[in-house]
C-alpha cells in the first residue's frame, strides 16, 4: 500500500488534476492521497493558502474582504468548471466559506487556523469528487475522522502519538481516501495547522500510521538535486538519500521535502520517494534508512542564509565550570533558539537564526552575555550563511575538508566558522551571505 501526497503546484489547475488522476489510476496500491491547497499556476501567481491568510486578516480587522473571497472561490470555480464537476461540489465550497464567516471563534488564532486549513479541506473534497467522477471509488476523509490529533500550537502543531492507532484502521478501507494535508484537530476538536508546507507532514504521519510500503511525495521537480538548481542550473540529481542525509540537507535549505515530515517516516521506517507530477515515471529521489554504498563522497550541498554569529571570549573560559550553562540559560530566558555552538579554548561562537531577534532582544542578549558572564569580548556578526556538505560517504574518506576549504579559498570565500558533527555525515561552513552562490559553485565544482 502506498500513501501519495501532492503539493500545491501539482494541484493548481485542472490540467494538473488530470495528471493526478492518471497517477492514482496507474497503480492500485496508491490507496491514500494527501493533498495541499491549490498552489501557484505560474511564477507570479498566489498560493490559495496565502490568500486565505490575507482573507482572515481582513475579516479580523473588519475590512472589506469580498474581493479576496471571490478570488479564492474563483480558483475552485475555474477547476470545477474545467473538470465538469457536479455543481454541488462548488456549492459545498461556497457554503464552507459562509460558515467560516458566521462562526464565532474563541480566539483570533483559531479563526486564522480555520481559514488557512480550508484551502486543503475544500480541495480534498473537490479532488475526491473528481476521482469518483472518473470511475475511481474514492472518498474524502477529514483529518478528524482519520484520527489526526495534534497539539494546540497554532501554525506549529505536532502530532499526538495516539493518532497512529486511529490511522491504522485506514488500511481496511476499500476506497481511495483523499485526506487534506496541513492540519489536524486538538482535543477540543479545534482545527490546528502544522507549520507552512505542512501537507508533507500529514502525508508522512498517515504513511506511518497505515504502515505504508512507500510514501510518494509528488512535487514539481524531477528529483532532489545535489545543489540548489538556482545556483547550479544543471545540477546532478540525487538518486538515493538516507533519512540522516535528508535531515541535514533540509535543515540547511533543501525545501523539497519538509524537515518535520522526516520524523514520522523515519520512526516508522517508511521509504520515501520524491517524484514529479509532471514526469511520474521518472526515477525521482528515494529516502530510506540505509542506502547502498556509492563512490561519491558527498550526497548534497545545501546553503542557508539568515544566520548571525555571536562570538564570546573570556580568558580561562575552559576552566570555568558552568559557563556554557549560563550562556544557555540566557538564551532560554530570552526564548532564543541556539543553532550551533562551535568552541575554542577561551571562546565560543553561537550561531542562531536572525529572524528570532528584535533590536530590543539583540541588545538585551549582548548586554547579558557581556555583563552576567563577565566576558572579555562579545562580538556579533550579522549576515552569516551556512553551507552544508552532506554525505554518508564522508566517514570513509580522507581529505574532504581539505578539498572543500581549498575550493573555497580558491574562490576567495572567507570562512567565519567550520563545524563537523561527530557522526561525520555533514560538515558546515559559516561564510558571509554575499558569498553564498560563489561558495556553492566552488564546492560543487570540486566534488562533482
Q: In the complex, which residues of this chain contact ligand ASP (CB under 6 A)? A: 7-8, 36-37, 47, 49, 119-120, 181-182, 196-200
Query: Pairing mode, if any, of strands 2-6 and 214-219?
Result: parallel
Nearer to ligand ASP, 12 or 327 (CB): 12
What's the rounded Cα separation, in Å, for the pair 431 and 428?
10
Contact between 202 and 185 under an 8 Å Cβ cutoff? The reply is no
What's the rounded Cα separation, in Å, for the pair 388 and 60?
41
Going across the sheet that includes 415-420, the strands are 347-353, 300-313, 377-390, 426-432, 415-420
Contact between 271 and 214 under an 8 Å Cβ cutoff? The reply is yes
Say how many C-beta atoms besides its own lie within 10 A of residue 435's C-beta: 21
Q: Which grid cell sits at 101? A: 464567516
Q: Whose CA is closest to 227, among 10, 437, 7, 418? A: 437
- At closest approach, how far in Å is the CB of 53 from ligand ASP? 9
What's the rounded Cα separation, in Å, for the pair 8 and 135?
24
Residue nearest to ligand ASP (CB): 199
Please spell the DSSP secondary structure of 361-425, one letter per residue. Answer: HHHHHHHHHHHTTT-SEEEEEEEEEEEEEE-GGGTT-S-HHHHHHHHHHHTTPPEEEEEE-TT-S
- At closest approach, how far in Å is the CB of 206 from ligand ASP? 13
- At closest approach, how far in Å is the CB of 322 from ligand ASP? 42
Q: Which grid cell sits at 63? A: 475590512
- At closest approach, how far in Å is the CB of 446 from ligand ASP? 35
- At closest approach, how far in Å is the CB of 258 from ligand ASP? 7
- At closest approach, how far in Å is the CB of 113 from ligand ASP? 12
Nearer to ligand ASP, 52 or 210 (CB): 52
- At closest approach, how far in Å is the CB of 417 from ligand ASP? 31
Amino acid at each position: 500500500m502506498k500513501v501519495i501526497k501532492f503539493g500545491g503546484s501539482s494541484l493548481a489547475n485542472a490540467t494538473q488534476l488530470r495528471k493526478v488522476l492518471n497517477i492514482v489510476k496507474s497503480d492500485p496500491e496508491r490507496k491514500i492521497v494527501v493533498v495541499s491547497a491549490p498552489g501557484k499556476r505560474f511564477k507570479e501567481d498566489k498560493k490559495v493558502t496565502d490568500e486565505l491568510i490575507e482573507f482572515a486578516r481582513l475579516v479580523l480587522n473588519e475590512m472589506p474582504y469580498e474581493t479576496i473571497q471571490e478570488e479564492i472561490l474563483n480558483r475552485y470555480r475555474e477547476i470545477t468548471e474545467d473538470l465538469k464537476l457536479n455543481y454541488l461540489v462548488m456549492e459545498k465550497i461556497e457554503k464552507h466559506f459562509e460558515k467560516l464567516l458566521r462562526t464565532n471563534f474563541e480566539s483570533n488564532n483559531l479563526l486564522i487556523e480555520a481559514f488557512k486549513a480550508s484551502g486543503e479541506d475544500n480541495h480534498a473534497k473537490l479532488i475526491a469528487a473528481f476521482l469518483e467522477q472518473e470511475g475511481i471509488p474514492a472518498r474524502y476523509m477529514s483529518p478528524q475522522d482519520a484520527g489526526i490529533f495534534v497539539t494546540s500550537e497554532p501554525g506549529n502543531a505536532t502530532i499526538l502519538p495516539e493518532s497512529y492507532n486511529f490511522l491504522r484502521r485506514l488500511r481496511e478501507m476499500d476506497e481511495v481516501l483523499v485526506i487534506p494535508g496541513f492540519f489536524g484537530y486538538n482535543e477540543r476538536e479545534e482545527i490546528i495547522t502544522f507549520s507552512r508546507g505542512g501537507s508533507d507532514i500529514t502525508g508522512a504521519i498517515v504513511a506511518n500510521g497505515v504502515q505504508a510500503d512507500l510514501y510518494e511525495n509528488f512535487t514539481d521537480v524531477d528529483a532532489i538535486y545535489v545543489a540548489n538548481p538556482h545556483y547550479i542550473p544543471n545540477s546532478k540529481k540525487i538518486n538515493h538519500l538516507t533519512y540522516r542525509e535528508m535531515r541535514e540537507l533540509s535543515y540547511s535549505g533543501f525545501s523539497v521535502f519538509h524537515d518535520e515530515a522526516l520524523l514520522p517516516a523515519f520512526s516508522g521506517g517508511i521509504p520515501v520517494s520524491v517524484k514529479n507530477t509532471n514526469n511520474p515515471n521518472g526515477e525521482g529521489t528515494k529516502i530510506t534508512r540505509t542506502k547502498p554504498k556509492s563512490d561519491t563522497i558527498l550526497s548534497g550541498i545545501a546553503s542557508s542564509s539568515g544566520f548571525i554569529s555571536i562570538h564570546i571570549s573570556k580568558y580561562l573560559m575552559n576552566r570555568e565550570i558552568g559557563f556554557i550553562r549560563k550562556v544557555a540559560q540566557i538564551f532560554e530566558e530570552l526564548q532564543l533558539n541556539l543553532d550551533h555552538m562551535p568552541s575554542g579554548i577561551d571562546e565560543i561562537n553561537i550561531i542562531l537564526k536572525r529572524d528570532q531577534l528584535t533590536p530590543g532582544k539583540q541588545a538585551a542578549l549582548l548586554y547579558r552575555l557581556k555583563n552576567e558572564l563577565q566576558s572579555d569580548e562579545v562580538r556579533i556578526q550579522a549576515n552569516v550563511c551556512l553551507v552544508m556538505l552532506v554525505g554518508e560517504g564522508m566517514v570513509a574518506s580522507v581529505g574532504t575538508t581539505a578539498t572543500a576549504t581549498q575550493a573555497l579559498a580558491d574562490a576567495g570565500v572567507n570562512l567565519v566558522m567550520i563545524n563537523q558533527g561527530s557522526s561525520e555525515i555533514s560538515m558546515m561552513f559559516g561564510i558571509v551571505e554575499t558569498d553564498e552562490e560563489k561558495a556553492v559553485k566552488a564546492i560543487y565544482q570540486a566534488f562533482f
